[in-house]
Structure 1
Amino acid sequence: MKVPRVESKLRIFSFKIQFGSQVTEFKKSLNTVNSACEEVRNSVKLKEIMKKILVLGNTLNQGTARGSAVGFRLDSLLKLTDTRATNNKMTLMHYLCKVLAEKSPRLLDFHVDLVSLESSTKIQLKSLTEEMQAIIKGLEKVKQELAASVNDGPVSDIFHKTLKGFIDVAESEVESLTNLYSLVGRNADALALYFGEDPARCPFEQVTVTLLNFVRLFRKAHEENCKLAELEKKKAEKEAEMKKAKGKTKRGAKDS
């Protein structure tokens, strides 16, 4: 009953107790976004596949106005499964995987370069902004309560001493966090620009989800190609065996 602003102090202590784990989780999310941006932009294999797709598109559109494109929209990656061959079985994605398997098999595992991509799709930049603001606002309230507690007298001496030590550490942590947050924001925009997209119209979340879906569709098409090739191989072997057995039967009949 004698402690001034006891409710405010309890809220401050709650913030102090959660601060460490809150900062750790927030850093983890920021680093995930950062890693995803760097992995995508530094992936030589992904870049090579993009070139192959552009060449493939220009070859298909040869003789038309779209036959000499210098690039394509990012969402076009997901349309590779829409274009089908006359037999309605093989898509353009299947054909791309087939060509790569025959001519550039080293590119087939490009997804290995993008280890942070899937986890980054679960992070919303808006949520990171809100989290950053909450941490800054929380620290500001701690400072306000610390300043107010100076006039509380002996009843708040221990509170004042404990809080002062916390603020010294927290301020440094928040400054480092703010710098990392700003860097992540720049890298997120740079990711969209890397693909020739406007960050305002094609934000980080859209880029990463599109790329993840492309990876999944690509791997699925490659797996289906491998299964089909295996079936055709077994079929050819079976036909060869039947032909061989038929030849032996004919020779046996002739000898008799």
Structure 2
Amino acid sequence: FDLKTLPVDFVECLMRFLPTENEVKVLRLYERERKPIENLSDEDRFMMQFSKIERLMQKMTIMAFIGNFAESIQMLTPQLHAIIAASVSIKSSQKLKKILEIILALGNYMNSSKRGAVYGFKLQSLDLLLETKSTDRKQTLLHYISNVVKEKYQHVSLFYNELHYVEKAAAVSLENVLLDVKELQRGLDLTKREYTMHDHNTMLKEFIQNNEGKLKKLQDDAKIAQDAFDDAVKYFGENPKTTPPSVFFPVFVRFVKAYKQAEEENELRKKQEQALMEKLMEQEALMEQQDQKSPSHKTKRQQQELIAELRRRQVKDNRHVYEGKDGAIEDIITGKR
């Protein structure tokens, strides 16, 4: 079991060439019949030596397990921690809760003439906020929500700062991670059995003593991750059995990304509107100066038309009627899509 003499990469390579049970029987029969070994090919002689080792596959499996154990712990632990952090932060975020309440209230208001109030919506319906656009197709409902939040609920505008490791959690297959944790336990159990059969091998003893606690910690993390994720999914009215992390967390990743983009676009639009207003004021000031100098009728008319156009655009940009895509606004609050 000395991995310094036989590195784990070499062990895993050898495992692909170990003789099968039938090949071992044939080689042992060949030896019992006292046939000349030199008649065998180099490959068969190599297999002959392997076939004489008791529990060869079990021992090689244990060596591979021991060699990969530290890397497995190092790989699985951050994934479990990401699930825990993301699940807890999403469920406990009061700012996110307020944002969702605002969306629900807006949906109820926009549909007040068509149906009674509803008390919730499917998380997947958050994606539809980008499909509901103003009549001029320049803004989505999410742009409007972002504006409302900034103007009236600014204390929750940075709700996404309360969400931790959501993107990392979205990339985790919790089912596969839990299976890997169980596989590590099976590997440790196999190592313990071999230890009792191998005259209490010192290397196996040290490995078990040094790493049994690490596996127990990983198993505890796995239990916490599973419970935290189930609690978060149920909190939002979803079913953990049909809503894995690869479905649940990406909803929030997409929503946060779209919300931040809406914030940036709103800010850009505000700057553009401010520039328009400044230009309008400059034109009005110029008209006053030219009035004092008795400008020509044509020049005055052109200036008046420009000012009227600027005012019209200013009003249009600030008055939006939102239309749902194929009834999208109803779907946002009922979650029918």
- What residue is the counterpart of 1:28 in the other structure? 78
After TM superposition, list the pairs within 5 Å mapping 1:55-70 onto structure 2. 55-65=105-115, 67-70=116-119
Q: Displacement, 1:115? A: 2.6
From the superposition, tell whether residues 7 and 197 of structure 1 become closer, same or farther in structure 2 (CA, over 3 Å).
closer
Contact 1:189 1:203 in 2 (8 A): no
Match of 2:285 among 244, 248, 255: 244
Q: Deviations over 1:128-175 (max 9, x none)?
A: 12211221121122122212212xxxxxx7xx0111121123222222
After TM superposition, list the pairs within 5 Å mapping 1:94-243 onto structure 2. 94-150=143-199, 160-243=201-284
Q: Displacement, 1:106? A: 2.5
Match of 2:92 among 39, 42, 50: 42
Q: Deviations over 1:46-90 (max 9, x none)?
A: 01101101100100110323x310111111111111111222222
After TM superposition, list the pairs within 5 Å mapping 1:7-18 onto structure 2. 8-18=58-68
Three-state SS of the structure 1 residue aligned to 2:107 is: helix
Q: Amino acid of the residue matched to residue 176 of structure 1?
A: K
Larger Rg: 2
Contact 1:189 1:204 in 2 (8 A): no
Range that drifts further, 72-81 or 102-111: 102-111
Q: Which runs of 5+ in 2 are unaligned?
A: 1-48, 296-337
Three-state SS of the structure 2 residue aligned to 1:206 is: helix
Q: Displacement, 1:203? A: 2.7
- What residue is the counterpart of 2:137 in the other structure? 88
From the superposition, tell whether residues 108 and 166 of structure 1 become closer, same or farther in structure 2 (CA, over 3 Å).
same
Q: Amino acid of the residue matched to residue 29 of structure 1?
A: Q
Output the CA distance in 2 between the equivalents of 1:108 and 1:224.
15
Aligned length: 245
Q: Displacement, 1:188? A: 1.0
Q: Amino acid of the residue matched to residue 86 of structure 1?
A: T
Output the CA distance in 1 between the equivalents of 2:223 and 2:101.
32
Q: Amino acid of the residue matched to residue 112 of structure 1?
A: N
CA RMSD, aligned part only? 1.9
Contact 2:169 2:245 in 1 (8 A): no
Output the CA distance in 2 between the equivalents of 1:162 and 1:203.
40
Output the CA distance in 1 between the equivalents of 2:107 and 2:286.
46
Q: Deviations over 1:85-130 (max 9, x none)?
A: 2222221111101111111122221111113111111111122122
Three-state SS of the structure 2 residue aligned to 1:88 is: coil
Contact 1:78 1:214 in 2 (8 A): yes
Three-state SS of the structure 1 residue aligned to 2:237 is: coil
Output the CA distance in 2 between the equivalents of 1:201 and 1:161.
47
Q: Displacement, 1:200? A: 2.0
- What residue is the counterpart of 1:154 in the other structure? none
- What residue is the counterpart of 2:103 in the other structure? 53
Contact 1:80 1:93 in 2 (8 A): yes
Range that drifts further, 123-132 or 198-207: 198-207
Output the CA distance in 1 between the equivalents of 2:180 and 2:94.
34
Q: Displacement, 1:7? A: 5.4
Match of 2:121 among 60, 63, 72: 72
Q: Amino acid of the residue matched to residue 104 of structure 1?
A: Y
